[in-house]
Amino acid sequence: MKCRKESTSTVPPTIPVESTTTNEVLPFQCSHHTVIDDPTRHILYNATRTCDDENLGWVRFIDGANNERSMIIPTEQPPYLEHCGAVVPGWLKNFTYPTTIGTTVQASVCFDFVITGSTERLCLYTNDIQITNCGHDFFVFNLPAAPRCNLRYCTI
């Protein structure tokens, strides 16, 4: 069952893309990846809880309810804990998406926690991932299992 709140839809930021020659071959993962259409990963979703406890491999996130628009992992701290279908949301800290088509880069996903007795959110767990710019406003992500349960990769 797909749950979504029409009034809380957020458009991901536009990422400028440098074009490459039309004869250039894109990396293998641009045509060989799993497509995930899961509205519970959105940073504003706050119902069911699950975790990414298995290696996802190369994936592309889409919003099937919005003409299969590509989704990305946010580069800003999600506004709330216990959103995107997890207790602890995963996001890209200190990261800028690659603008050159065909480029693959390393990134670090931050999973925020609030320490008891504090209001400060700390990046208690991190995961190293790879991100490839496949052009046409879509990226694929090579995602290992989260460091523990209750952690999940979010989208925007």
* 59-97 burial code (b ≥16 CB/10 A, e <16): bbbbbeeeeeebbbbbbeebeeeebbbbbbbbbbbebeb
In a domain, 4, yes or no: no
In a domain, 44, yes or no: yes
Six-digit token string for 83: 């959103």
Six-digit token string for 18: 């440098």
Whose tokens are 């458009």? That residue is 11
In a domain, 8, yes or no: no
pTM, entire model? 0.82
In a domain, 13, yes or no: no
Full residue range of the structural domain in which residue 104 is found: 29-153
- List, for residues 8-46, the tens digit of each pLDDT value: 334 444 455 454 444 578 999 999 999 999 999 999 998
In a domain, 14, yes or no: no
Cα distance between residue 151 and residue 146, in whole Å: 6
What's the structural domain count of the chain? 1
What amino acid occupies position 154?
C
